[in-house]
Structure 1
Amino acid sequence: MQGFALGWFVDAWLEDGSMEHADRIAGVELGGTKAIALVAQAGRVVERLVVPTTDPAQTLGALRMALLDWHGHSPIDALGIASFGPLRLDRTAADFGRMLATPKAGWSDADIAGQLAGGFDVPWRIDTDVNGATLAEWRWGAGQGCGSLCYLTIGTGVGGGIVMDGRPVHGMLHPELGHMRFRRAQGDNFAGACPFHGDCVEGLVSGSALKARFGRPGEDIGDDDPQWSFVAQDLAELVCAILLTVSPHRILIGGSVALGRPFLLPMIRARSVDMLSNYLPHVTADAAQHIMVQPGLGADAGPMGALALGMAALN
């Protein structure tokens, strides 16, 4: 496979004092529609494979074969796995590393960690894809210098990752920010589309929810549709809840929906400041420009998140 380099990543890798430049780090980003496996060394991505996410046996099998092949030719030193969830991340649990109940057909109880890391005598770490992306943004992207960082991704679903002092946040599970429910804007009667909770945030603003809310595919929805005001309100409710509970230094708002509609971010900022009603003195209209921002790594955040997890496994 032909290698390729990401210039910013080369510089960041070589400047990172926490690892040897010669370390070969493997990463797997397992997404809902596609999966990426890659190996990086000395700041250069030297191996890469992209496969569609179909059923667990086919998808995980293809990824494992690639890892074994790469490891056989030149041993990898660590592995990071960033997967869609929900996942069991409690290492003491019998189902550690497995997928929990998920609406993605056939993937409930899939042994993600066992299939990808089993048999590799190297340090490895597994986390959610959005926690991995948050760690990458904290390390190399728009979260650099932040003691605490939250990353919201609004796309096929709504996910949220939190990193505190360089460590992804876990409890009994991991943050499921997209499944919280909030007060609704006056006049918004959309019932929601989440199969679990109806009008949770994901059920209101994810790609599939927007199609149901607007009654047409996303590409056919005009930027001037008044219902975007409801979407901005729903996301501002989520942002306010995060600011009041986690108190992050920065919230990154990304994903295909947010990045594809750049007018949403200013609306979210304004609504959030208004709803907080000066209760948080540090969240002013001017400060919001720096607190709520777009992610810095773009489409690289996912695979770089898997590599960041692999690097963290070495420490």
Structure 2
Amino acid sequence: MALLGAIEAGGTKFILAVCDENFNIIDRTVVPTEDGPTTLAKVTTYFDQFDNIDAIGVAAFGPVDLNPQSKTYGYVLDTPKPGWAGFDFLGYLKNWRDIPYYWTTDVNGSAWAEYRHGANSEVKSLVYLTVGTGVGAGIIVNGQILSGFGHPEAGHIIISKNPKDHYLGHCPFHHDRCLEGVASGPAMEDRWQQSAKELADEHMAWEIEADYLAQAAMTYTTILRPDKIVFGGGVPHREVLLPLIRKRFAELMAGYLATPDLEDYLVPVANGDNAGILGCFYLAKSAMTRA
């Protein structure tokens, strides 16, 4: 029986899984993220249990090099994560077992799962925005993952500061000028001294957060015109947030551009915490077919 592998490589943990040709999960485990060589030694030890894996999808925290023509294709680039900057992630795997791999970012993996199997299975283009430890986006345009000189860093778009917000920002590069600096989970916790899970629904934090995410949604809408924008990650788990985003988005857009009904346009993630793994499986199948 042919098997597919998935590596959802996060900054805190790696989720590893194996499925059959119908995408039924056969086995799954989690290993902590240590330095590159130590972590991937555990990854390959896990997959050594399975002799008949035909392909593996890898969705990795970044920044990573996705350009096949680059000398550092498959590498993790400059990152503050100890033991990872300049690490040849994909090369390590190829030296272990020479099978097809699909190499992409963690958020692209989740975006592809939403595109293939989630609320967006009938659309051609979408933006998947994750708001958690950081803010990032996977962008699908006409059925293709968007990438060029590098992958999009849509969490670092410049936004207008909410007049009620006096926080100085969490991003070490852009401080309070970029989306990640003011809207990420750590930014919320640092600003309010409470995590997004702990904040009351009535707290003004949600009005401010909705403003920033609505600004981002408007920017993505005007530039990309996607069929849907999907919100994932820990912060949008709070049900109070999405209705506020839709309301603020409508105010900001001010009737300028037509969009689908906002209940169908600005939506929560359909695959929950399984999105990354499912995306890796689908991409592994794609790599196997392409090979």
TM-score range, shorter chain: over 0.9
1:314 shift after superposition: 2.1
Measured in 1, the distance between the counterparts of 2:124 and 2:96 equals: 35
Q: How much has 1:228 moved relative to structure 2?
A: 2.1
**In the alignment, structure 1 residue 96 sits paired with structure 2 residue 70:** no
Mapped to 2, the partners of 1:46 and 1:257 lie a distance apart of 30
Query: After alignment, is 237-246 or 187-196 more displaced?
Result: 187-196
Q: Cα offset for 1:295?
A: 1.1
2:217 — aligned with what? 239
What SS is found at the alignment partner of 1:210? helix
1:141 and 1:296 in contact (8 A); partners too: yes
Aligned counterparts of 1:219 and 1:313: Cα–Cα separation in 2: 38
TM-score by length of 1: 0.87
Which segments of 5 or more consecutive residues in structure 2 lack a partner in the other structure? none
Q: Which residue of 1 aligns with 2:183?
A: 205
Q: How does 1:269-284 map to 2 (within 5 A)?
A: 269-282=246-259
TM-aligned CA deviation for residue 129 of structure 1:
0.9
Partner of 1:223: 201
Is 2:141 aligned against 1:168? no
Separation of aligned partners in 2, 1:122 and 1:196:
38
Q: Structure 1: state its 5+ residue gaps.
A: 1-21
Which piece of structure 1 moves more, 214-223 or 33-42?
Answer: 214-223
Amino acid at match of 1:203: G
- Is 1:68 aligned to 2:48, yes or no? yes
Detail structure 1 runs of 4+ shifted over 4 Å in the superposition.
none
Q: How many residues align?
A: 287
Please identify, of 76-85 and 41-50, the stretch whose mean Cα deviation from structure 2 is larger: 41-50
1:302 and 2:276 correspond: yes
Cross-structure match for 1:158: 135
**Equivalences for 1:1-315 in 2 at 5 Å?**
22-43=1-22, 44-71=24-51, 75-199=52-176, 200-259=178-237, 261-282=238-259, 287-315=261-289
- Per the normalisation by structure 2, the TM-score is 0.94
Alpha-carbon shift at residue 90 of structure 1 (Å): 0.4
Query: Which string of whole-angstrom CA distances, capped at 9 and with x for unpartnered residues, describes residues 112-144 of structure 1?
Result: 211223342322110001101111111111110
